[in-house]
Structure 1
């Protein structure tokens, strides 16, 4: 297939881009399903289900224990991961350190 992209309008190019994106997504979904079906069949040949072999793929992440708490309101906690909450930044701006907020 040979498409003359130079002759296409911007609207036509954007439409083509959307169509290609959808085709890529459906292709990947079909391939993923084929791989899953093949894996299930292979596990079944040995008397197992795929879940028996790989477990539940949707295991929740364990909760991270908080490391810091607001001295004025102990319900405000932070694990020390990710962006600093506003209350932490406010305490740091007051001149306190993270050691002062440690649990």
Structure 2
């Protein structure tokens, strides 16, 4: 690449050269960044992950399995975590134990 003689350029030409150089550098860096991301995504996919899952720092939540179910309505379940549902409270008040609701 031929080097321009900066001594012979006017101020306007130097400023234009500066703008063009900044654009070229930004474009080069963006291309390199895109290439690096593509390589990282390929490696993550090879191991069965998404790159966004690996770099987000957040773990994906896995729903806890239900441990208790309503004796008459099987669609009502409880994992045993958090507040007890009313049907569990009512059953315990009626003399039942948690084992009576276990799945």
Question: How does the TM-score come out when normalised to structure 2?
Answer: 0.52
Q: Which has the larger radius of gyration?
A: 2
Matching of residues 1-103 of structure 1 within 5 Å: 1-55=2-56
Cα offset, 1:51, TM superposition = 1.3
The Cα offsets for residues 36-70 of structure 1, whole Å up to 9 and x where unpaired, read as 000000000001000121117xxxxxxxxxxxxxx
Structure-1-length-normalised TM-score: 0.52
The runs of at least 4 aligned residues of structure 1 exceeding 4 Å deviation read: none
Name 2:85's counterpart in structure 1: none
Distance of 1:2 and 1:18 partners within structure 2: 16
How well do the aligned residues superpose, as a CA RMSD in angstroms?
1.6
Gaps of 5+ in 1: 57-103
> What is the DSSP-based 3-state SS (H/G/I as helix, E as strand, rest coil) of the residue aligned with 1:2?
coil
1:2 Cα deviation after fit: 1.5
What is the count of residue pairs matched by the alignment?
57
CA distance in 1, matches of 2:39, 2:28: 17
Q: Which runs of 5+ in 2 are unaligned?
A: 58-103
